[in-house]
Amino acid sequence: MTADLEVPGSWRDYGAAGLPSPLRAALEAFVEHGYHGTSVREIAGRAGLSVPGLYHHYPSKQSLLQGLLELTMADLLRRSEQAIAEAGDDRLAQFDAVVESLLRFHMYRREQAFVGSTEMRSLDGDYRPRYIGHRVRQQRMVDEIVLGGVDAGVFVTADPKGAARAVATMCVGVSTWYRVDGELGADELIERNLEYARAIVGYIAR
Write out pLDDT tens, residues 163-185.
999 999 999 999 888 888 878 78
| pLDDT computed for residue 184 by the predictor | 78
At residue 8, the pLDDT reads 67
At residue 24, the pLDDT reads 97
pTM: 0.90
AA identity, residue 163: A
* Alpha carbon 166 to chain centroid, angstroms: 15
- Spatial distance between the Cα atoms of 194 and 56, rounded to a whole number of angstroms: 45
Given this model, what pLDDT does residue 4 score?
46
How far CA 191 is from CA of 5, 75, 119, 196, 206, in Å, comes to 28, 23, 30, 9, 19
Low-confidence residues of the chain: pLDDT under 50: 1-5
Q: Closest by alpha carbon to 155, among 94, 79, 100?
A: 94
CA distance 37 to 56: 22
Q: What is the pLDDT of residue 173?
A: 92
What is the reported pLDDT for 154? 97
